Structure 1
Amino acid sequence: CRYMSRYRRIRIVGKGSFGSCWLVENDDAEQCILKQIDVSKMPVKQKEEAANEVKVLSRLRHPFIINYRESYVNDGLLCIITDYAEKGDLYGVIHRLKRGSHLLPESQVLRWFTQIALALKHMHDRHILHRDLKTQNVFLSGPGLGTVKVGDFGIARVLQHTQDCARTAIGTPYYLSPEICQEKPYNHKSDIWSLGCVLYELATLQHAFDADSMRGLIMKILKGVPPQVPLAFSASLR
């Protein structure tokens, strides 16, 4: 494939039922991410819809959104090339802080929260929903602790066309909004709910809603009352 010859694979960075994710290097020695989604079993029309969905996403340009570089279909795989965020993701930050029993400073929580909110606003203003906002999809890049780069937006919509959509589109259930739990249509409010869950997690290093079973989790989400945010934070954040 003429596209693939431009990228050298360095290492695999993620694998799911939908396909795989690779760190690659292009001809200019820039590191990028190659996401491969298996579309081999899709009818032609759905393949085209999935490819068009990615083209819409590629038009988004924002300082707090991962830059989509190009996409193409090769050997039954929909390949998406994006920028690489070298500082990892918020999930990794939270995991490390948990181990050391340290909370993030409030100023940093609010800085990252504001950046994610601005990225979401940019998407919503263009009628694009994220559909799978979680700490694993909020990447970091640049000096200091890093600037937010929201990624994997709209991928859930692309995955709707695959047989694995029921499993993959939902992914981690902690961020599900009440309307999704009630099997109502997804809308921009569902993204905002997920943003609230991410903010809670940044402040507490815990999921806003957690339970031993899916049924128990849904009950907690529908009640909508997470445990209190630590008193170390200001009343306005709490």
Structure 2
Amino acid sequence: MQRSEPLRGHKRESCTSDHQNHHYVSPLVSSFPTVVGPRLPCKYRVRRVIGRGGFSTVWLLINNESGEMVVGKLTDSSHTTTSSKGFAAAEVENMRCCSHPNIISLIETFQAGEKYLYILEYANAGDLQTQVDIRAQPPPGTSDGGPIWYCEDEVLVIFAQLALAIRYLHDRRIMHRDLKTPNVLLTCSGLIKLGDFGFSRQYQESVSGEVGNTFCGTPYYLAPELWQRQSYSRKADIWSLGVIIYELLALKKPFLATNLSELMEMVTRQGSFDPLPTGRYSPEMILLVNRMLKVDPSERPSINEILASPLFQTRGLSILKINVRRIKNLDEQVQMRLVEDVNTLLGDNDVS
């Protein structure tokens, strides 16, 4: 599959094995002694810590029976605020009702008092932010010293998969609300996985389409209406997706500022980002990204309008289908699901 391979020089997490991380492993093992341990009958054993947050720690775990690697996220809600508990509950509920090849799966959950252990699918090739950073400043000896630009077909393969994932969410009245390159996870097969549903929300849509008013997300990816504390809709996710695709094309964020006030001024002012290079990418690609970054949400396309655009109908979806069919060792059901999604959007009856 044509994809963004992890480049040589990829900096792995500065994490060590479980026997060097007793300080972090102990809460996991002590809280869930029948679930996490070095051998059966415990279901999982710890490989290493891969992330830490204010009230949660994330481990890479190994299934003791199958040898499969998974992610274990331990959350202690005893010291969290009511709103944080609400976000955590929404994350779990939304992930439980999602089943899509381009969305990280929630495998199972465990609870011990106010501690929760979430077992998640593992994406084994890092995240998109790391790859963008490496391409923007390649390690010595990996290029001629300049950026390693994505070709448009590579961007389309990523863009199409993210669009399918977001379409799936929006069809189920779920807004992600924290779309950003660190939450776009990569696999060695080339499949993109959308993760981190900590700010996601299921909603009942009003007639106006305005469905939320909670300020959340990551500043560089926040839509103007969130900065202005206005009600917002699924179009806020479209803005964030536009920032991600701009980042792939330019190898930098569209809005760079030294403080939040400056960032807000840039985000809420139309046309404050550098134009994308017309010599490197097609007019259709640049036009679509510019539409996604309109300050007025009513001027942004919906996810279905993006997938119905000439860029996707003439090239993007077909390129994705070709690449999906080329993936070796991809689960047959996953392949059929993605091809079926693409065929539906193309109005194509070919389900082979």
2:62 is aligned, of 1, 4, 25, to: 25
Give yes or no for contact 2:94–2:200 (8 Å, CA) kept in 1. Answer: no
State the Cα RMSD in Å: 2.5
Give yes or no for contact 2:87–2:199 (8 Å, CA) kept in 1. Answer: no
Q: 1:161: which partner in 2? A: none
Q: Structure 1, residues 26-45: CA drift from partner, whole Å, max 9, x if none? A: 1221101112223113589x
Give yes or no for contact 2:155–2:248 (8 Å, CA) kept in 1. Answer: yes
Q: Which amino acid counterpart does residue 84 of structure 1 have in structure 2?
A: Y
1:177 is aligned, of 185, 206, 223, to: 223
Given the alignment of the two structures, is residue 150 of structure 1 paired with residue 194 of structure 2, yes or no?
yes
Q: Which structure has the bigger radius of gyration?
A: 2
Q: Which amino acid counterpart does residue 48 of structure 2 have in structure 1?
A: R
Q: Structure 2 vs 1, CA of residues 49 and 219 (structure 1 numbering), >3 Å: closer, same or farther? A: closer
1:99 is aligned, of 116, 124, 137, to: 137
Given the alignment of the two structures, is residue 237 of structure 1 paired with residue 274 of structure 2, yes or no?
no
Given the alignment of the two structures, is residue 13 of structure 1 paired with residue 56 of structure 2, yes or no?
no
2:124 is aligned, of 86, 107, 114, to: 86
Give yes or no for contact 2:174–2:200 (8 Å, CA) kept in 1. Answer: no
**Counting strand residues as a fraction of each chain, which structure ranks higher?**
1
Q: 2:159: which partner in 1? A: 113
Q: 1:3: which partner in 2? A: 35
1:63 is aligned, of 70, 89, 101, to: 101
Q: Structure 1, residues 22-75: CA drift from partner, whole Å, max 9, x if none? A: 11111221101112223113589x858844651332221111111111123235
**1:204-223 equivalent positions in 2, closer than 5 A:** 204-223=250-269
Give yes or no for contact 1:134–1:194 (8 Å, CA) kept in 2. Answer: yes
**1:127-142 equivalent positions in 2, closer than 5 A:** 127-142=173-188
Q: 1:72: which partner in 2? A: 110
Residues matched between the structures, number: 226
Q: Which amino acid counterpart does residue 96 of structure 1 have in structure 2?
A: I
Q: Structure 2 vs 1, CA of residues 181 and 142 (structure 1 numbering), >3 Å: closer, same or farther? A: same
- Counterpart secondary structure, 2:283: coil
Q: Percent identity, aligned pairs only?
A: 36
Q: Which amino acid counterpart does residue 172 of structure 2 have in structure 1?
A: R
Q: 1:203: which partner in 2? A: 249
Q: Structure 1, residues 61-109: CA drift from partner, whole Å, max 9, x if none? A: 1111111111232353222211111111111110111113111111001
Q: Structure 1, residues 190-238: CA drift from partner, whole Å, max 9, x if none? A: 1111000000001111001111110000001001322111231112112
Given the alignment of the two structures, is residue 192 of structure 1 paired with residue 238 of structure 2, yes or no?
yes
- Counterpart secondary structure, 1:21: strand
Distance 1:138 1:89 in 2: 6
Q: Structure 2 vs 1, CA of residues 43 and 209 (structure 1 numbering), >3 Å: closer, same or farther? A: closer
Superposition deviation, residue 142 in structure 1: 3.5
Superposition deviation, residue 3 in structure 1: 3.3
Q: 2:310: which partner in 1? A: none
Question: How high is the TM-score relative to the length of structure 2?
Answer: 0.59
Give yes or no for contact 2:43–2:63 (8 Å, CA) kept in 1. Answer: yes
- Counterpart secondary structure, 1:236: helix
Give yes or no for contact 1:24–1:33 (8 Å, CA) kept in 2. Answer: yes
Distance 1:64 1:15 in 2: 24
Distance 2:125 2:60 in 1: 13
Q: Which amino acid counterpart does residue 115 of structure 2 have in structure 1?
A: L
Q: Structure 2 vs 1, CA of residues 86 and 206 (structure 1 numbering), >3 Å: closer, same or farther? A: same
- Counterpart secondary structure, 2:284: coil
Give yes or no for contact 2:90–2:200 (8 Å, CA) kept in 1. Answer: no
Q: Structure 2 vs 1, CA of residues 109 and 123 (structure 1 numbering), >3 Å: closer, same or farther? A: same
Gaps of 5+ in 2: 1-31, 37-41, 139-146, 202-213, 287-352
Q: Which amino acid counterpart does residue 234 of structure 2 have in structure 1?
A: H
Question: How high is the TM-score relative to the length of structure 1?
Answer: 0.86
